[in-house]
Amino acid sequence: MENPLLLRVVTLCDVDHRISDITASPVDFVFCLGDLEDVWMANRVEALNPRYGAYGIRGNHDVNAPFPSNIEDLNFMNKAVVVDGRRVRLAGVPGSWRYKPYGRWLFYQDEVSEMTDAMEAADILISHNCPANIGHERPCESLAEDTFSVHQGFLGINDYISAKKPQFLFHGHQHLHKTTQIQETVVIGCYGETLHEIPL
Ligand SMILES: [Zn+2]
**CA 176–ligand 1 middle distance (angstroms):** 12
Of residues 120 and 23, more confidence is placed in 120
Concatenated DSSP letters of the chain: -PPPPEEEEEEEES-SS--S----S---EEEE-SS--HHHHHHHHHHH--TT-EEE---TTS-SSPPPTTSEE-TTEEEEEEETTEEEEEEEE--EE--SSS-SSEE-HHHHHHHHHHSPP-SEEEESSPBTTSS-SPPPSSHHHHHHTTTPPBHHHHHHHHHH--SEEEE-SS---EEEEETTEEEEE--EEEEEEEE-
**CA 46–ligand 1 middle distance (angstroms):** 23
How high is the pLDDT of residue 104?
Answer: 92
**CA 58–ligand 1 middle distance (angstroms):** 9
**CA 52–ligand 1 middle distance (angstroms):** 26
CATH 3.30.470.160 for domain 6-199, yes or no, is: no
Lowest mean pLDDT among 1-10, 54-63, 152-161: 1-10
**CA 184–ligand 1 middle distance (angstroms):** 26
CB within 5 A of ion ligand 1: which residues? 35, 59-60, 173
pLDDT band at 102 (very low <50, low <70, confident <90, very high): confident
